[in-house]
Amino acid sequence: MALAGSDLLRRLLSNGWCVMPPGLAIAPMDFLSTLGPLLLSHATRTYHYDLRPCDKDSAPPASMSAITGTDAQPMHTDGAYYHLPPHFIALQCLEPGEAECPTHVWALDLTRLRRDGPTNLTKPDWVSRGDGHAPFYCPILEAQRGTLRIRFDPLCMRPVHRASNTADEVRKALKSCCQQVEIEWERGSLLIIDNWRCLHARGEGASQARSRRLRRWMIGVNHGLVG
């Protein structure tokens, strides 16, 4: 297990994401805790939160499903409404559901995006708000202490009045600088995503996979709190 965990960590750091097969993901918190501090879910006051397909009228208030229902979700950063979004997101399949409903991952080349993308991606031309947090100005592509970090969620972020890039224009720029991956779920498998480097989203099929259930963990950083 130590050797497999080391290999998975190398893959995660290299690609921005990795999948742990069911046979290795028996005690996921043991591996996840090596990545950083696990963050409490505000909804459950535990370290995990279970995601299920919901219609708009039955979805938790302020959730993404309250806007999209069982339709495909937009590609996004989890916790984009935090000043410091979680560094890693882990999703474990507890039940794949009655039909295929993949998760999409965009592994972004942030260096290329900074070089070739719209110049104002690094300007604080967006306002982020959500989950009861006070709104704040932020860029799409952040550069702090030599580290590049993406932040994008078209459902909780809006361009300021004079910003030149719309959410659709930003999405196209991000799509042009990424590797696209589709994750087909099997019971017990664990997907780990670098939330500062990748966008992800639930794809089509949730309306036909009502029993689909993914358990989500958020992992922060040791030098500060998320919020």
In whole angstroms, give the CA distance from residue 217 to residue 27: 13
Name the pLDDT band for 4 (thresholds 50, 70, 90): low
In whole angstroms, give the CA distance from residue 49 to residue 29: 13
Closest CA to 150 of 142, 161, 159: 142
Query: In the prediction, which pLDDT does 224 show?
Result: 47
Range with the poorest average pLDDT among 12-26, 171-185, 213-227: 213-227
Query: In the prediction, which pLDDT does 153 show?
Result: 97
Asked if residues 221 and 200 have their Cβ atoms less than 8 Å apart, the reply is no
Residue 5 has pLDDT above 80, yes or no: no
Give Cβ neighbours of residue 5 (< 8 Å, ≥ 6 apart). 31, 34
Give Cβ neighbours of residue 53 (< 8 Å, ≥ 6 apart). 65, 70, 97, 101, 206, 207, 209, 210, 212
Name the pLDDT band for 225 (thresholds 50, 70, 90): very low
Give Cβ neighbours of residue 45 (< 8 Å, ≥ 6 apart). none
Query: Tell me: the pLDDT tens digits for 77-131?
Result: 999 999 999 999 999 999 999 999 999 999 999 999 999 999 889 999 999 998 8
Name the pLDDT band for 200 (thresholds 50, 70, 90): very high
Domain boundaries, the chain: 2-219
Query: In the prediction, which pLDDT does 101 show?
Result: 98
User: Considering the domain 2-219 in this protein, what is its CATH number?
Assistant: 3.60.130.10
Mean pLDDT of 129-157: 92
3-state SS, residue 11: helix
Asked if residues 163 and 122 have their Cβ atoms less than 8 Å apart, the reply is no
Asked if residues 32 and 192 have their Cβ atoms less than 8 Å apart, the reply is yes
